[in-house]
Structure 1
């Protein structure tokens, strides 16, 4: 059964309310404006707002839910699994490319709700999606714990935190690298770490520079 079509007028109202929500949240924080101010910014009546949503939190929850679903679709195949990937190809993981493309397409929203204000529902939801992706990718790439450089739970936490912070930094800096380029850099860091070759001090037995 096909989902029922939404009236274009309803779609327009919801779009206006979401845009106003993002703008006002970035400017003042979610608690810094009233429903009346939100309706005024969206150029709709206050009563119209309440025809669609119980309160601001309900509007925010709906929007974040849809954003996270879009993010999940970008990073996973329809069956819920990361797509097949040749780790020796030298190309960025297609899920990373789609991830950053999604972020770029929704830049204003993520800047307001993830960087400027870091709304917990969005940041925690993103972490959960990234955690699943990292866990499944790590299991595929190296299922043997003995061949990891740290305990699996530590490796997962380290990697997911790095991914999320890179995402936030990339948005905060106004996307200084193209989607494919930042995806490739993140892929290289995931597989090879920060060094293409070990630094000279690594095999000298003298400790790192400045380490005594």
Structure 2
């Protein structure tokens, strides 16, 4: 396990290594990278790298954990279930937009696969929680909540990928409305809800 960031030097070194990883993934893709590549980009030695991480996979997991924790906090939006449905989507888009270069690298075709898996899991957990709250009395929700949440989170990630590739020309709110127009009808059809669901990302 990497050492706990107990001092500024440790924090700075780990930040440099993470920034080097992000930059190199965007340039070369994840699979082609070596520890030496990452250390050189960070202007550090291999020995210093190994003081903090066992290999590039552990560094990547640390990066993903950090980003996922930040995203999780950003998705804690207030309001009613209906309001949270839209605000959660906007919050996810804004968070990605603020870290666009990082996400272009990590979510791209040559990024590490565990990134999409973990980001999707974070988003899906929030969607599922709100689905269960919004459809608490619906007989199918226990069977369907997980699959709906996973599918909706995957659709949102696909939309985010397109948005990043297109230069984020549309505002986050517009993309959130587009996302809702694409996913809500399917959820309504599946659950047989008489109106727009109160909890959709």
TM-score by structure 2 length?
0.75
* Higher Rg: 1
Asked whether 1:113 is paired with 2:106, we answer yes
> 174-183 vs 152-161, which deviates more?
152-161
TM-score by structure 1 length?
0.72
Q: Structure 2: which 5+ runs fail to align? A: 187-201
Match of 2:47 in 1: 47
Asked whether 1:85 is paired with 2:80, we answer yes
Q: Distance in 1 between matches of 2:61 and 2:25?
A: 13
Q: Distance in 1 between matches of 2:39 and 2:149?
A: 43
Q: Distance in 2 between matches of 1:176 and 1:59?
A: 32
C-alpha contact 1:131 1:156 (8 A) present in aligned 2: yes
Q: Relative CO higher for 1 or 2, CA cutoff 8 Å, sep ≥ 6? A: 2
C-alpha contact 2:29 2:111 (8 A) present in aligned 1: no
Distance 1:156 1:102, change over 3 A: closer
Match of 2:60 in 1: 60
**Secondary structure, aligned partner of 2:170:** coil
Q: Which has the higher helix share?
A: 2
1:3-14 map, 5 Å: 6-14=6-14
Match of 2:129 in 1: 136
Q: Distance in 2 between matches of 1:158 and 1:138?
A: 13
TM-superposed deviation, 1:174? 2.2
CA RMSD of aligned residues (A): 2.9
1:1-212 map, 5 Å: 6-76=6-76, 83-85=78-80, 87=82, 93-145=86-138, 155-191=148-184
**Secondary structure, aligned partner of 2:91:** helix
C-alpha contact 1:92 1:180 (8 A) present in aligned 2: no
**Secondary structure, aligned partner of 1:177:** coil
Distance 1:108 1:156, change over 3 A: same
Q: Which runs of 4+ in 1 moved over 6 A?
A: none
Q: What count of residue pairs does the alignment treat as equivalent? A: 182
Q: Structure 1: which 5+ runs fail to align? A: 77-81, 194-212
